[in-house]
Amino acid sequence: MTYPSTAYTARWVWCAPGDLRPGAAVTLQDGWITEVAARPPRGARVVDLGEGLLLPGLVNAHTHLELSGLAGLMPPQGDFVVWLESMVNLRPVQLRQNGPEATLAAVEYLAQSGTALVGDVTNTGKAAQALGSAGVSAVSFYEALGAAKAEPPEAQASWQGALLLASAVAAHAPYSIPTARLAALKAKAGAMPFAIHLAESRAEVEFLAGRGSEGRRLEEFLRDRGLRREDLDLAAATPLGQLQAADALDHRTLLVHGVQLTLDEIEQVAVAQASLCVCPRSNLGLTGGLAPVEALLAAGVNLALGTDSLASAPSLSLWEEMAALLAAKPGLDPEAVLTMATQGGARALGQAGRFGVLDPGAAGPLAFVPLAGVSQSEVIEAVVRGEHAGAPRGVGRDDGGKKKEEGR
């Protein structure tokens, strides 16, 4: 028997910040949300998910899926340059051995655990096919590094029904891209988001300032790999200043990490209306610090959440990232953290209104978190802290997923 649409209900439904509803119904048809209402529409197939929270599929705004084969081989130990050296040494051989299989497994995990959209930084584009096959929407950021002439493909968004498979442009970092090329890459990004790792480590800040032992170590690392300081034609003494000098900071810019941003720089990011993605476990592991999230939120900066890669994080779980961020910053509003993992990520990837919210016209899939014994006032905090009664999962991704739900 076929149904024109499927309505998903749960004890609690979180549609957007400030909009938590008891027992609502979210209707999907052909992958799109068509209705959010107090009860299912007449004639729809109904799937009652039970005690827990139904919410938008999560948005992992920053990862590197093609590095999944490095999982567990180079755990961060607080030294950014040492980690970079391990990456360069291990990547070529290890990823030839297990790269495709590990990438496929990573994508399947994203699909099963409730991620609807991912911002994937890539040098090869090899994860794109796996993402499409798994039904995970993606903005694939083709990353440029150094002065090499290899160019990212054209930035464009392509929809296959409710599945987004977009290509976009990324520059690795202000310390690894010549100023003129950084400007050209930003121009090439056009109307799509432009991603760049920024202010991730003390080594980066010291290198651009031309001082400090960590900066000298990073300079040696780059020089040993053929990138000399003079090749960069640096135009500023800070990571953000270098971005500004290249006219690469605006409302389409997605900054990643921002651990070393100052309060003055946060105001500049806010004025530019740029977004910033925080990767809590990776940041804490690689540098021992986090971006000043409280100050960023107070300034009105749009914040997103990412896992980074399995080379620097223990999993690709945004649920675990939310819990880690709240544990590290206990004064944060749990709903602000949940917003980073949904609406904030969608906006950062240029998909505001299409992902990260439960609203007619937005794309699925959805996510569901089993909960037990929580009141309405406790729901959001329980979800963000990881106090789940079962594993979070994706909902409404495809026909196969629907069959599984019917069998429960």
Q: What is the pLDDT of residues 259-277, one digit of tens each?
A: 999 999 999 999 999 999 9
Extract the tokens encoding 114: 């409730």
pLDDT of the residue at 408:
28
Give the distance, in angstroms, between the CA of residue 99 and the centroid of all CA atoms in the same chain: 21
Q: What is the CATH number of the domain that holds 138?
A: 3.20.20.140
Give mean pLDDT, residues 348-363. Answer: 98
Give the distance, in angstroms, between the CA of residue 394 and the centroid of all CA atoms in the same chain: 17
Same domain, 267 and 230: yes
Question: In whole angstroms, what is the distance from residue 257 CA to residue 252 CA?
Answer: 16
* pLDDT band at residue 93 using 50, 70 and 90 as cut-offs: confident
* pLDDT band at residue 401 using 50, 70 and 90 as cut-offs: very low
Q: Which region among 76-80, 113-117, 253-257 has the lowest average model confidence (pLDDT)? A: 76-80
Q: Cα–Cα distances in Å, from 153 out to 28, 67, 143, 180?
A: 33, 20, 10, 18
Same domain, 361 and 313: no
Same domain, 366 and 298: no
Nearest to 175 by CA among 148, 128, 210, 139: 210
382 occurs within a structural domain: yes
R_g of the chain computed on alpha carbons: 21
* pLDDT band at residue 406 using 50, 70 and 90 as cut-offs: very low
327 occurs within a structural domain: yes
Extract the tokens encoding 338: 């949940």
Same domain, 153 and 203: yes
Q: Cα–Cα distances in Å, from 94 out to 69, 84, 99, 121, 312?
A: 7, 15, 7, 19, 15
- In this prediction, what percent of the chain has a pLDDT beyond 90? 89
- In 133-246, at which residue ranges do the beta strands (DSSP E only) sit? 137-144, 159-160, 163-171, 194-198
Q: Is the pLDDT of residue 403 over 80?
A: no
Cis peptide before 76 (omega within 30 of 0): no
pLDDT of the residue at 150:
74
Give mean pLDDT, residues 51-79. Answer: 95
* pLDDT band at residue 3 using 50, 70 and 90 as cut-offs: low
Same domain, 258 and 368: no
The structural domain count of the chain equals 2
User: Which residue range forms the structural domain that includes residue 367?
Assistant: 6-57+357-406
Same domain, 52 and 165: no
* pLDDT band at residue 398 using 50, 70 and 90 as cut-offs: low
Nearest to 365 by CA among 52, 42, 118: 118
Same domain, 177 and 295: yes
Q: What is the CATH number of the domain that holds 21?
A: 2.30.40.10
Give the distance, in angstroms, between the CA of residue 220 and the centroid of all CA atoms in the same chain: 30
pLDDT of the residue at 94:
86
Among 348, 365, 387, identify where a domain stops.
348
Give the tens place of pLDDT for each residue, 315-337.
999 999 999 999 999 999 999 99
Average pLDDT, the chain: 94
Nearest to 83 by CA among 232, 276, 285, 269: 285
Question: In whole angstroms, what is the distance from residue 209 CA to residue 230 CA?
Answer: 14
Among 298, 331, 348, identify where a domain stops.
348
Give mean pLDDT, residues 103-129. Answer: 96
Give mean pLDDT, residues 282-306. Answer: 98
Same domain, 24 and 63: no
pLDDT of the residue at 108:
97
CB atoms within 10 A of CB 262: 14
Same domain, 322 and 368: no
Same domain, 367 and 339: no
Which residues, other chains included, contact 289 with Cβ-Cβ below 8 Å and sequence gap of 6+? 259, 260, 283
Question: In whole angstroms, what is the distance from residue 210 CA to residue 238 CA?
Answer: 10
* pLDDT band at residue 149 using 50, 70 and 90 as cut-offs: low
Among 321, 348, 375, identify where a domain stops.
348
Helix axes 80-112, 213-224, angle to 10 degrees: 70
Same domain, 277 and 372: no
Question: In whole angstroms, what is the distance from residue 190 CA to residue 192 CA?
Answer: 6
Q: Is the pLDDT of residue 407 over 80?
A: no
**Complete edge-to-edge strand list for the sheet that includes strand 32-37:** 32-37, 25-29, 6-9, 45-48
Q: Is the pLDDT of residue 209 over 90?
A: yes
Question: In whole angstroms, what is the distance from residue 10 CA to residue 23 CA?
Answer: 5
169 occurs within a structural domain: yes
245 occurs within a structural domain: yes
1 occurs within a structural domain: no
Same domain, 129 and 50: no
257 occurs within a structural domain: yes
